[in-house]
A and B are shown apart, each in its own frame.
Chain A
Amino acid sequence: MRRLLVLHAVGDPHGGTPWAQAFGAAGWAGPVQAPDLPGHAGREPPLGGAYHRTDPALVGALVLAERHADAQAAPAVVAGVGPSGWGAQLLALGGRAAALVLVDGIGGPWLPAPDAVAAEREWLRSLADDPDALGPAAGGVPLDPRLRHAVPGQTDRGLALRAAGAIPVPVLVVETRPPDQALLSAAEVDEVVTAFPAAELIRLEAASPTEVAEVVTRWAP
């Protein structure tokens, strides 16, 4: 019986519930945990009210640490969706995953450092000018207004390749975005997939969570 931890996309107001339901419907043979990330689906924002691309890894590490007390539990399959793919990769890098699933979760777009810094500059300036994003952090709303500004993602191609090369577990990469919405070109995705020691790429354009869950359930080692 394999545990599954799903980190839903940062910015998805529905939180983890659609993924928990999708894997339930797909017949995942084991416990499924799909926590609502802080600031999503009514959950309180994190202490301090700020977000970072690595935060899903922190949430996941805490969830997995709680489950660690269950001596019968097998190592988890960790899935990351969209921007939370980086958090899932960090969990795999940190030895906390038996297998890794990335749903549109490789990262990107790849930016040179000056362009990444310029993008973060504009993000910070937009936050500073939005009273809703700066006000007291409140729970009970589908999405923290601060997250309307998104969270700068993992845009470092070199880091993505180094990280992929250091992840020793089986990896399934699922790409659902149509080409005109993708953050990376097909060639850029292929480059990262090839950098993983053991990875498989499946393209499921515009697939629903249920369709993705069925594919992942059939693949899971």
Chain B
Amino acid sequence: MPEREPDRAGFVEVNRTRLRVWEWGDPTAPAVICAHGAHDHGRMWDGLAPLVAGRGFRVVVPDLRGFGDSGHNHSFNYWAAGALDLALLARGMDPPIGWIGHSYGARMVLYVGGVWPELARWVVSIDGLGPPNSVLDQGDPAEGARRGLDGAVRALTGPPRVYDSLEDMVRRRMQVNSRLPEEWARHLVLHGSVPAPDGGGGRVWKADPLYGLGLPGALSAERHNAENAMLRCPLLVLTGGEPDTWGELSPEEKEERLSHLPTARHLVVPGAGHYVHIEQPGSVMAAFDSFLADVAA
């Protein structure tokens, strides 16, 4: 269940965009920034953030650039711009600070910690070892270019995709993320969508339609590993023990990815798929407590 509404909410202007920021906990306590995954938004942390705040932290949760209430891009520069957003946000929080990320957000906080080591005291990565090599290696560049350009032109010149209702969006989300409890799917849809601008009673996602389109050249397994290998601070890697959508790495691929993260402590959480912290928050917090105790020592 989503545990608790944010204690504070606002917007910050940073890096030429406006980020929606949610906060839990004592605003004078040491800061932790949580970064959500692709297709999600900051309210995905409504379960874990209050628990982390209860450990004596100020938990700061942005809607990442392109998601939720935050600004959109007329560029495919999501990765570097998003990382710079987070770095600038952290600079105002007496760094080094703690970082927790899920999926795409986990990859991003690893990257931030690698590019700006002075900003990261520790990092927790929740099912964020990245997509399988078959996805990273991209395939036919002509097909990728055609798909990306067609999608971008459609996104920037056409009407948004309208869903019949909130219930329709919940149903579709649960078809994609079949392990996601319905109450969570509903929570994510509720905070991730708005009534359609045509006034016809349907709903549209808040997320930037350009996100996720991309063009050939953005990713490769070699590049992914090189980015991860920059991280030098203590790292806790949590992965789910159950097969799930967006958690398709084979055991061999997980080991290979972990071999490029020299400071990682890896724990497989039984009874969880991709959304480890939503399915097994108690196990995640137990691992977090143990990790922080070791970091403090």
Contacts and interface: CB of A to CB of B under 8 A. Distances in A.
Contacts, number: 137
A58 B74 CA distance: 9
B274 interface: no
Contacts of B83: 124
B15 A54 contact: no
Given A46-B74, A46-B75, A163 B88 contact: no
Interface in A109-137: 113-114, 116-117, 120-121, 124-125, 127-128, 134-137
The secondary-structure label for the interface of chain B is helix
B279 interface: no
Interface string A32-65: 0000001000000111111111110110011001
Interface stretch (A15-23, A154-162, A173-181): A154-162
Interface hub of A45, A58, A156 (most chain B Cβ within 10 A): A58
Contact of B115 (A58, A114, A124): A124
A94 interface: yes
Contacts of B229: 114
A50 B223 contact: no
Contacts of A117: 223, 226-227, 230
Interface string A68-96: 00000000000000000010001101111
Contact of A48 (B13, B17, B145): B17
A166 interface: yes
A65, A93, A95, A134: residue with the most chain B Cβ atoms closer than 10 Å: A93
Interface stretch (B50-58, B152-160, B240-248, B265-273): B152-160
Interface size class of B (residues with CB under 8 A): 35 or more
B121 to A, nearest CB: 18
Contact of A90 (B77, B150, B153, B216): B216
Contact of A62 (B13, B14, B156, B217): B156
Contacts of B13: 136
Contacts of B65: 48
Contacts of A51: 75, 77
Nearest to A93: B145
Contacts of B80: 50, 52, 120, 124
B227 to A, nearest CB: 5
B25 to A, nearest CB: 26
Contacts of B76: 52, 54-55, 58
A48 B72 CA distance: 6
B103 to A, nearest CB: 20
A45 B88 CA distance: 20
B146 interface: yes
A114 B226 contact: yes
B101 interface: no
Nearest to B18: A48
B297 interface: no
A95 B142 CA distance: 8
A112 to B, nearest CB: 8
Given A46-B74, A117-B223, A156 B142 contact: no
B170 interface: no
A57 B215 contact: yes
A48 B215 contact: no
Contact of B217 (A38, A137, A159, A167): A159
Contacts of A116: 223, 226
Contacts of B15: 49-50, 134
B71 interface: yes
A45 B217 CA distance: 23
A108 to B, nearest CB: 13
List the 4 closest pairs (A to B, CB-CB), nearest first.
A49-B16, A52-B77, A93-B145, A48-B73
28 contacts: A46-B74, A46-B75, A47-B71, A47-B72, A48-B17, A48-B65, A48-B75, A49-B15, A50-B73, A50-B81, A50-B84, A51-B77, A54-B217, A55-B76, A55-B77, A86-B217, A91-B149, A95-B142, A113-B220, A117-B227, A121-B114, A124-B115, A154-B217, A156-B217, A163-B141, A166-B140, A166-B142, A167-B142
Interface of A: 38, 45-55, 57-58, 61-62, 65, 86, 90-91, 93-96, 113-114, 116-117, 120-121, 124-125, 127-128, 134-137, 154, 156, 159, 162-163, 166-167
